Amino acid sequence: MKQPSKFLKQRARMTLLGKYFPSVCVVFAASLISLILTYLLDISGFSPLGDPMRQLSFWLMSAVILLLDAVLSIGLTRYFFQMTLGQPFVFRDLFYGFTNNADRFIIAAALRYGLLALGWVPAGIWYFRMPVLLEATAMQVLLLLVLILLAVLLNLPVLLFYGLSFYILLEQPDCSPLESMRVSRQLMVGQKGRLFSLYISFLGYGLLELGTMGVGKLWIRPYVETILIQFYLDVKQ
């Protein structure tokens, strides 16, 4: 049954009713761990500038941290997935991706990030060929902005086609990362417009999060996560 977005959001609010405090706490813990990982990169001494070896080390370490953060995010999704299904949800669900066939989630995250990275190749190449932004011409900056917009447009199909793959992995422990992507494509037939509309409706929350220097994420993330889970359950039916 195709439920309207308004209904999905109402169901999400009902799910979180009386559970917002533990939800905020688990999002805070995930955010704190992400900050620590970023801090470790900052103090590592590696840099995207300088000699090639330091640059290579920086990007390799960045990729590892990105994957760790993605697996942590899957654990956060697991927490709200359990909550939405009316099953026991506990703080240790945050580390579910590391303790239950971690290779599945790491590979799934790597595949998704790999597809998303392809869209950013033109913008990345141009950015590294440009002079420092303060020294760049208006035309060079404009071209960079156009390439960034192109990257967003190229990444949109990835998010729409494979947006359900992590939920499939969580619900089906025997499912492989590639199989979860195939099933996601099947489930999203005729549903991509609905998911796109949901993404658009989240833009205001994103601006609110930016306006609060990220603090708003503690309250926004539980709501958005629960809405997307409601969408997955609706599509699956």
CA distance 209 to 222: 13
Instruction: Tell whether the model's pLDDT for residue 234 goes beyond 90.
Output: yes
Mean pLDDT of 128-145: 81
Instruction: Tell whether the model's pLDDT for residue 55 goes beyond 90.
Output: no
Give the SS3 label for residue 131. coil
Instruction: Tell whether the model's pLDDT for residue 50 goes beyond 70.
Output: no
Number of domains present in the structure of the chain? 1
pLDDT at 186: 94
Tokens 């035309």 map to which residue? 139
C-alpha gyration radius of the chain = 19
Model confidence, pTM: 0.89
Q: How far apart are the two ends of the chain, measured CA to CA in Å?
A: 7
pLDDT tens digit sequence for 32-47: 999 998 888 888 777 7
- Single out the residue of 109, 99, 95 nearest to residue 26, CA to CA: 95
Q: Is the dihedral of CA 120, 206, 214, 100 positive or negative?
A: negative
CA distance 168 to 108: 11
- The identity of residue 111, as a single letter, is L
Instruction: Tell whether the model's pLDDT for residue 206 goes beyond 90.
Output: no
For residues 162 and 112, is the Cβ–Cβ distance under 8 A? yes
Provide the 8-state DSSP code for 1: -
Per-residue pLDDT band for 196 (boundaries 50, 70, 90) equals very high
Q: Which domain holds residue 165?
A: 5-236
